[in-house]
Chain A
Amino acid sequence: MATNTESVDLVGDETVANIARAALFAALMGAFAYVSFPNPLAAGVPITLQVLGVFLAGIMLGPVWGAIAMVLYLVAGAIGAPVFSGGAAGIGHLIASPTLGFLWSYPIAAAAVGLVVHRGVGLTEYKSASTPTLVGAMVLGTAIIYALGTVGFAAIQYDPWYASLGQAFVVSSLPFIPVEAVKIAAAVGIVKSDAIAAA
């Protein structure tokens, strides 16, 4: 073992709590990958909760730790945790998959949602955020996720990528956007209810 003989540099209590929450939230994102609901609009496109996890990370953990939770999720998946959709894993999802744009957008979208809801990088009481603010933040998050997802899809599948953005949007994003409204409605319900014990 590579023993460290320097004095122990303890992590502060607040940071420990944040690391634990970010890690648990990342694991919850992974568990969400296994949950799918039947889609009332298009039977062939099941609804998964990953994007809802991104929204809630930004809202509940704030822009900084929400984004860190998403990075932990991506890195864990890259080195082998079965957390990507359908229980897949591997760094291929981040460097070569047609869905890599969606994955890379998660930390950015979580940070953006958190910045809007908390009005800055600090953590405020998210339950006091107004419904229009919450919805606006999540619409912005959705836009970021699908914009980067479309560009990523075009970059992987088409050459030159910028000439095929329309095709990429139709294949990679269009079927999934309508059900985002369902997830936004669910997220508002979750945040506004008193059911979440720890704030």
Chain B
Amino acid sequence: MIGYTPGSTIVHRLDPRGKLAVQLAFAIAAFAHTTPRGLAALTILALAIARLASVSVVRAILSVRVLAPFLIAAPLVAAIRLSPPAIDPSAAFQPALASYRVLLVFVVAAAYVHTTAVRESRAAIQRTIPSRPGVLLGVGVSLVFRFLPVLRRELTTVRAASAARLGTERPLVDRIRRLVVVGVNRSFTRADRLSAALSARCFAWNPTLPQLSFTRLDIPVFATAIGLLAAAVFV
């Protein structure tokens, strides 16, 4: 599992907006150059970024293992021909490159997730998206981070309690209904308590944000992003 891990790498100290720019530019470059040469160059860059952020490439790829059936099936299905010869390996080449490209983008994204605290991401969102939509997104996203573990634990408890009472023997629709009803009820109860607490604490459209400022360290980050975009457009 990839999540934010406090650390002192150079990537931890960078501005989150620069890191977001690099991820977007990296994806655009990977889509523009889905060739063996282009992907080889991007592989070197992705490994360098992972190294600088001290994030494990293996863990980054394992964290998206649920996508493996799609990434493997796409080239396989492309290779199947209805008329003989039944298998055409050359048709699988391009979809296989596309699958590999996805993994590269995930490695770069994992470097961001590993090195960026929620409050920094929130500040980046609120400084990039102006006025009320930005505040709404920033507040909402930090609440999601706060409540996800709570709700996850509650659902696990409910499932365990249901299984202990032979709930697993019930029909599927009934099992889903029971679990979701408890999940939704608890979420709405928490939401009501939360909104009372937010109002009581003067929840405002113009709160104080943590400071973000670009430093000299961020210059190479933006240079990388611009370089990747230029490579996508001109090369």
Contacts and interface: CB of A to CB of B under 8 A. Distances in A.
A23 B140 contact: yes
Contacts of A80: 2-4, 112-113, 116, 118, 121
A189 B183 CA distance: 15
B184 A4 contact: no
B184 A190 contact: yes
Interface string A60-104: 100000001001110110011111011111111101111100000
Contacts of A26: 140, 144
B64 to A, nearest CB: 5
A98 B71 CA distance: 8
A26 B154 CA distance: 15
A85 B172 CA distance: 20
Interface stretch (A110-118, A124-132, A163-171): A163-171
Contacts of B113: 79-80, 89-90
A113 to B, nearest CB: 15
Contacts of A72: 137, 140-141, 143-144
Contact of B78 (A9, A83, A167, A182): A167
Interface stretch (B7-15, B92-100, B224-232): B92-100
Nearest to A193: B181
Contacts of B207: 4
Nearest to B129: A75
B173 A185 contact: yes
B30 interface: yes
Interface string B57-98: 000000111110011011001100000000000000011001
B161 interface: no
A158 B140 contact: no
B203 A11 contact: yes
Interface string B1-35: 11110000000000000001001100100110010
Contacts of A86: 63-66
Contact of B67 (A11, A98, A193, A198): A98
Interface of A: 1-4, 6, 8-11, 13, 16-17, 19-28, 30-32, 34-35, 37, 40, 47, 49, 52, 56, 60, 68, 71-73, 75-76, 79-83, 85-93, 95-99, 153, 156-159, 164, 167-168, 170-172, 182-183, 185-186, 189-190, 193, 195-198
13 contacts: A20-B194, A20-B195, A30-B151, A31-B183, A81-B148, A82-B148, A91-B24, A92-B109, A96-B105, A97-B102, A186-B176, A197-B188, A197-B189
Question: Nearest 5 CB-CB pairs, A to B?
Answer: A90-B109, A86-B66, A23-B143, A92-B109, A96-B105
